[in-house]
Amino acid sequence: MTMRRILGLDVGDRTVGVAASDLLGMTAQGVETIRRGALSDDLARLNELMEEYDAVRLVVGLPRNMNGTEGERCEVVRGFAEDIQKARPDAEIVFWDERLSTVAAAKSLIAADVSRKKRKKVIDKMAAVFILQGYLDSLAK
């Protein structure tokens, strides 16, 4: 059986942070931050990454409110996931509660003494790593 990687996505209005699992599905690494443009361009780049990493499962961070309810941001993310599904019917989309992923990513970057300017460039990719790692850890249990 060939192992397939899993991609993690942190979907925002301006960017989509992307992370990929290793072949064993144990660790998540940051891949890139897609600068959002035309939907067709965003989906084309995501498709290229799915091909490159031989991934069909996408773990999409769902930005729930702190009380667990879903707000406007969740609708936007679910809409983007639907667009992915239409473009790639073979994609398996899993939603993952990402409530504190960006906060955790920011704290880890600050702890690593990454400058504010550099943090801004990698925060979405790091948030995608936290989303995917949380999902991978849940599979390992």
CATH number, position 134: 3.30.420.140
Q: What pTM did the predictor assign?
A: 0.89
How many domains are contained in the chain?
Answer: 1
pLDDT (tens, 9 = 90+) of the chain, 141 residues, equals 457 899 999 999 999 999 999 999 999 999 999 999 999 999 999 999 999 999 989 999 998 888 888 889 999 999 999 999 999 999 999 999 887 677 777 788 778 887 878 777 777 898 899 899 999 999 987
Residue pair 62/80 in contact (Cβ under 8 Å)? The answer is no
DSSP β-ladder status, 92-97 and 5-11: unpaired
Helix (H) or strand (E) holding 87: helix 72-87
The parent domain of residue 23 ranges over 5-140
Residue with tokens 């990493």: 53
